Amino acid sequence: DAGVTQSPTHLIKTRGQQVTLRCSPKSGHDTVSWYQQALGQGPQFIFQYYEEEERQRGNFPDRFSGHQFPNYSSELNVNALLLGDSALYLCASSFSQNYGYTFGSGTRLTVV
Amino acid sequence: DQQVKQNSPSLSVQEGRISILNCDYTNSMFDYFLWYKKYPAEGPTFLISISSIKDKNEDGRFTVFLNKSAKHLSLHIVPSQPGDSAVYFCAASEGYGGATNKLIFGTGTLLAVQP
Mean pLDDT computed over every residue of chain A: 93
Q: What is the pLDDT of residues B19-40, one digit of tens each?
A: 999 999 999 999 899 999 999 8
How many angstroms away from the CA of B52 is the closest CA of chain A?
15
What are B76-99's pLDDT values in tens digits?
Answer: 999 999 999 999 999 998 876 555
pLDDT at A94: 87
Question: For position B78, what pLDDT does the model report?
Answer: 98
Task: Count Cα neighbours of B67 within 13 Å in the Cβ-side half-sphere.
Answer: 9
Looking at beta carbons, which residues of chain B come within 8 Å of A43? 44, 89, 103, 105
| B interface with A, Cβ–Cβ below 8 Å | 4, 6, 32, 36, 41-46, 49, 89, 91, 97-108
Query: In a 10 Å sphere around its CB, with 0-12 CB exposed, 13-18 middle and 19+ buried, how is residue B83 labelled?
Result: exposed
Cβ proximity of A106 and A10 under 8 Å: no
Whether the CB-CB separation of B19 and B13 falls below 8 Å is answered with: yes
Interval A79-107: pLDDT, tens:
999 999 999 999 999 887 666 789 999 99
* C-beta separation of A104 from A3 below 8 A: yes
- pLDDT tens profile A20-66: 999 999 998 999 999 999 998 999 999 999 999 998 899 999 999 99
pLDDT at residue number B98? 52
- The reported pLDDT for the residue numbered B102 is 86
3-state class (DSSP) for residue B34:
strand
Answer whether A60 touches B (CB < 8 Å).
Answer: no
